[in-house]
Amino acid sequence: MNINDFNYELPKELIAQYPLRPRSSSKLMILQEDKIFHKHFYDIIDYFKEGDVLVVNNSKVIKARLKGKKETGGKIEVLLENNEWCLIKGKKISRGMYLFFDKNIIGIVEDKKKNKFKIKFNKDIKKVIEEIGELPTPPYVRKKINSDDEYQTIYAKKEGSIAAPTVGFHFDEQLLEKLKQKGIKIANICLHVSFSTFLPVKEEDYTKHEMYNEYYEIDEENAGIINNAERLFVVGTTTMKCLESAAENGNVIAKKDFSNLFIYLGYKFKLNYAGMLTNFHLPKSTLLLLVSAFYGKERILNAYKEAIKEKYRFYSFGDAMLLLK
């Protein structure tokens, strides 16, 4: 249960700084039990057949990053999650402090709870996002993206996430159309990614790590598609969390709810999955814990070693894995 067991060393040059074009041209590592195969993402079509269902998270990233200053002049960066709570990157943030932004937008820190803050703005939050918000690309991506579309999946629809479900970046219209023509169905569900997915695990015993709630929804139509799948494939860790949060007695239930589900070694999965698509995740992260629970810690960590050796690109704009059961 030690988080240090999920650490690994990654050369900085393997942290992807930009998305590849076309989207489906990235590398794809296939894991089939203890075997590893090196392909490209567009090759996934060879691993699916008619009657299979691919489940995707169609959440859309909002412009949740605000850059401003404290009343003392010190720079701050706000990451909004909802109308109440947010993260603030800056020193000595306290209750009652005024925060100043462009477009004459002012905020006051009304409350603090652990590492979260509540800010009251002088404008409606939707107006704030519209006027000064930026897409919150990860801090390890140093290069500015060319357009907002680069940090959205092509099927993103429902606004609410502060980070993208990144393995979905690899799908382009051409590949999705080929999959559909082969008889593979795409099921759309939604989980809005919040701080909870990306907050670092600070507890040495990772089972003590606290996950915060994330909103999710699955409608009747897509629940039916999922429950009638001949083989079920999951696109991404957030999609997996959504499905497992809504699963009962071997089926997915249509619902709207919040989930603080934390999946790590020893977790008993509620649905029968044929496979999972995922990117390469940060060391000691909840996402690495999830994929290890799904496919085995040794298999995953050995695959990461192989990926480093073969110079795969890591993290949000990086390459992908297909974990086949």
Per-residue pLDDT of the chain (325 residues; tens, 9 = 90+): 999 999 999 999 999 999 999 999 999 999 998 999 999 999 999 999 999 999 999 999 999 999 999 988 999 999 998 656 888 998 889 899 999 999 999 999 999 887 789 999 999 988 999 999 999 999 899 988 989 999 999 999 999 999 999 999 999 999 999 999 999 999 999 999 998 888 889 999 999 999 989 999 999 999 999 999 999 999 999 999 999 999 999 999 999 999 999 999 999 999 999 999 999 999 999 999 999 999 999 999 999 999 999 999 999 999 999 999 9
Axis-axis angle for helices 297-309, 286-295 (nearest 10): 110
Degrees to nearest 5, angle at CA 89 with 317 and 216: 55
Q: Which residues, 6 or more positions from 262, have their beta carbon under 8 angstroms from its beta carbon?
A: 209, 211, 286
Rounded distance between C-alpha atoms, residue 310 and residue 236, angstroms: 22
Q: ω into residue 139 within 30 of 0, thus cis? A: no
Rounded distance between C-alpha atoms, residue 291 and residue 222, angstroms: 24
Domain residue extents for the chain: 3-61+143-324, 65-132
DSSP-derived 3-state class of residue 200: coil
Rounded distance between C-alpha atoms, residue 137 and residue 164, angstroms: 9
CA 200 to chain centre: 14
Beta strand 275-279 with 231-235 is parallel
Rounded distance between C-alpha atoms, residue 272 and residue 159, angstroms: 29
On the CB side of 35, how many CA atoms lie within 13 Å of its CA? 4
Statement: 65-132 belongs to CATH 1.10.533.10: no
Question: Which DSSP state fits 53?
Answer: E
Domain 3-61+143-324 and domain 65-132 have a common topology: no
DSSP-derived 3-state class of residue 295: helix
Q: ω into residue 22 within 30 of 0, thus cis? A: yes
Rounded distance between C-alpha atoms, residue 50 and residue 62, angstroms: 35
Task: Among 3.40.50.720, 3.40.1780.10, 3.40.640.10, 3.20.20.70, name the CATH number for the domain at 3-61+143-324.
Answer: 3.40.1780.10
Yes or no: say if 170 and 37 are a contact pair by the CB < 8 Å rule.
no
